[in-house]
Structure 1
Amino acid sequence: MRKLLAMLALGGLLSLASGLAQATTLQILSAFDRTMAEAHQEIKRRFEAENPGITLEFQTAAQNYEEASQKIIRGAMINDLPDVSFQGLNLMRGLVDRGIVVPLDGFIAADGGADKLGYDPGMLRAGGLGGKTYGIPFAVSTPIVYLNVDLLKAAGADAANFPKTWPEILALGAKIDDPARNVIGFYCQWDVTGNWMFQSLVFANGGRMLSPDEKTVAFDQPPGMAALSTFESFARAKMPNLPSSQSRAAFIAGKIGIFVDSSSNLGSATRQIGKSFDFRTLRFPLGAEDGKVPGGGNLAVILAKDPERQQAAWKYVRFATGPIGQTIMANHTGYLPSNSIAVNTPALLGDFYKANANYQASIAQVPILTGWYAFPGSNGVKIIDVIKRHTEAVVTGKKNAAETMPAMAADVRKLLE
């Protein structure tokens, strides 16, 4: 009996040791976003419940996508990287060029391919480079127009006949302006990370950021000049310069009539506004027949080097970008899901989108989505900062578009060289 007990005890210890050896704690890095943080935590709970051998540990969130990218680059130099990171769609390229990101094609193929996993082909292309897939889009946004219908009606306007051009939109905003009640007629969230709103205007006018061979600046051509001139028109219309948190709070409080922002804020706005006032969303205005809008948001990339950790990391990425993870993400935010199974299944997101008309503006823009442009070379993040500095001077009325464009293009050319 003593021998049997000893053998059982030894077996139990070996089993415990084996379980401990197989247990994995994955380090995860993301950029700060309150609603996204809530989605990540719910996905974490569901994933860990289904995968008891894997624990997710979120590192302190970066303030924005640029900071997250820089943290990864610095970590690679000292061999201190998280296992998985949610990177801005426009910043994956710099990590791929440095050999930091793990290709995912083998994992996808081993699990039956993209179709079986529900990965939308167009969305999946956003995570590709050089014929390989390096990231799976987790949350995708488009620029849209939010309308406070009550303020429009008070100004004698009708949301159903909303103007299509920026001059007409700004003219309507001027009618809504009411300083006595702290009401702002028009506001554009111009400073979204990664020059996203400037790119939105460039692409909407049929332009591009660099030449096809990526050797020369292309945003200084007429479409780009139209984009920068649109920023100048915002300044002439006396649009205030507000931090994103303040402008979003003002719209939710019913103090902005026309609000141009990312669809990523839609979920939060819907919950907080409730029935306080009637609000609608519309597509982003296009200035050309071939105009497009850049897909914003982030994708999941694997940075783990150990094969076993890579397998655990892929399980997590597959879950977060799968039907359940994408349903959780979409319910918490206004981002578009990348998983077609989630979108087409009534019990997941199919019925949700049918019942929430305000999400249709962003969904309607999927056919005209283009990439959130990533500048080549080691100065990609610096170029983003340079463009932001120049556009800020225009949108705040300190400089005009005509004098700013040549200087901005010259500064970017130097960094490209």
Structure 2
Amino acid sequence: LQLLQRLGKEGQPGFERDQARQAFRAGKLGILFGASSALNGYQQSAAGNFRLKVGSLPVSSTADRLPAAGNGIVMLTDDPDRQKACWDYIKFAVGTAGQTIMVEATGYVPVNLAAISDPAGLGRFFDAHPEHRIASQRIAMMTGWFSFPGENNSRIIKAIEDHCYLVVSQKQHPAAALSSLGKDVDALLPH
């Protein structure tokens, strides 16, 4: 929170998440921390308008961990024919061909490590588009995505975002934000 306060004092606009994304796409915001899954959209916005550079999320040591998030695949049928069709699709989606399609279309980090170095797939794509390789280089640092217990995970995340916004926009001091944030989150957790 102190770093957010400093960023605000030094000129970082007090944008909420969607405002920041829109300003970045318009070339009005110089730096944006975000998920690799939005990379293709940012590249499309930048094309012909401004130069886009991609870097790794800064960490203080190689022992640090980064949360991995994303999608999952589930099979929700008891029918043997549908199970076979689902299983065939799952194998394709997480295989080298499916992972190449996913990364090329979205920028998501691949879930299949063999796909990353496949010379006919992602290896070729990463060689031609090195900015897409950057997120994959942090796979060794990735850990599980944290979810708050109970039914209020999304509301808790929103509360955290709201308090961070108040700090970066200089509307709340970090200590006050931390105190009120703790109370807000505690009220949303199961007891």
Separation in 2 of the partners of 1:324 and 1:286? Answer: 32
Query: Which residue is 1:357 aligned to?
Result: 130
Query: Which residue is 1:9 aligned to?
Result: none
**CA distance change for structure 1 residues 256 and 299 in 2, over 3 Å: closer, same or farther?**
same
Query: Which residue is 1:410 aligned to?
Result: 183
1:284 to 44, 57, 76: 57
**1:249-307: CA deviations, max 9, x gaps?**
543443333232222222233344335443321211224563222123222223x2424
Query: Which residue is 2:86 aligned to?
Result: 313
Secondary structure in 2 matching 1:297: coil
2:34 to 252, 261, 266: 261
Task: Determine which structure has the larger strand proportion and give its number.
Answer: 1
**1:106-153: CA deviations, max 9, x gaps?**
xxxxxxxxxxxxxxxxxxxxxxxxxxxxxxxxxxxxxxxxxxxxxxxx
Q: Report if the CA contact (8 A) 1:266-1:334 is conserved.
A: yes
2:151 counterpart letter in structure 1: S
2:10 to 221, 237, 241: 237
May I ask how many residue pairs the two structures share in their alignment? 189
Alignment of 1:329-340 (within 5 A): 329-340=102-113
1:319 counterpart letter in structure 2: F
- CA apart distance, 1:356: 1.7
Separation in 2 of the partners of 1:387 and 1:248? Answer: 18
Query: Which residue is 1:182 aligned to?
Result: none
1:390 to 163, 179, 182: 163
Query: Which residue is 2:149 aligned to?
Result: 376
Separation in 2 of the partners of 1:292 and 1:283? Answer: 13
Separation in 2 of the partners of 1:279 and 1:350? Answer: 22
> Unpaired segments of 5 or more residues in structure 1?
1-227
Return the TM-score normalized by structure 2.
0.81
**1:301-348: CA deviations, max 9, x gaps?**
23x242434443333333222222211111112111112342222111
**CA distance change for structure 1 residues 364 and 343 in 2, over 3 Å: closer, same or farther?**
closer
Q: Report if the CA contact (8 A) 2:107-2:132 is conserved.
A: yes
Query: Which residue is 1:324 aligned to?
Result: 97
The answer to whether residue 72 in structure 2 is matched with residue 294 in structure 1 is: no
Query: Which residue is 1:76 aligned to?
Result: none
Separation in 2 of the partners of 1:261 and 1:380? Answer: 20
2:54 counterpart letter in structure 1: T
Separation in 2 of the partners of 1:416 and 1:338? Answer: 32
2:78 counterpart letter in structure 1: D
CA RMSD after TM alignment: 2.6
**1:362-398: CA deviations, max 9, x gaps?**
1222221122211123333332233233333223322
Separation in 2 of the partners of 1:288 and 1:409? Answer: 27
Q: Report if the CA contact (8 A) 2:62-2:141 is conserved.
A: no
1:263 counterpart letter in structure 2: S
1:379 counterpart letter in structure 2: N
Higher relative contact order (CA 8 A, sep 6+): 2
**CA distance change for structure 1 residues 407 and 285 in 2, over 3 Å: closer, same or farther?**
same
**CA distance change for structure 1 residues 252 and 406 in 2, over 3 Å: closer, same or farther?**
closer
Separation in 1 of the partners of 2:69 and 2:83? Answer: 26
**CA distance change for structure 1 residues 254 and 339 in 2, over 3 Å: closer, same or farther?**
same
**CA distance change for structure 1 residues 246 and 376 in 2, over 3 Å: closer, same or farther?**
closer
- CA apart distance, 1:229: 1.9
Q: Report if the CA contact (8 A) 2:117-2:123 is conserved.
A: yes
Q: Report if the CA contact (8 A) 1:394-1:400 is conserved.
A: yes
Secondary structure in 1 matching 2:53: strand
Larger Rg: 1
- Percent pairwise identity: 34
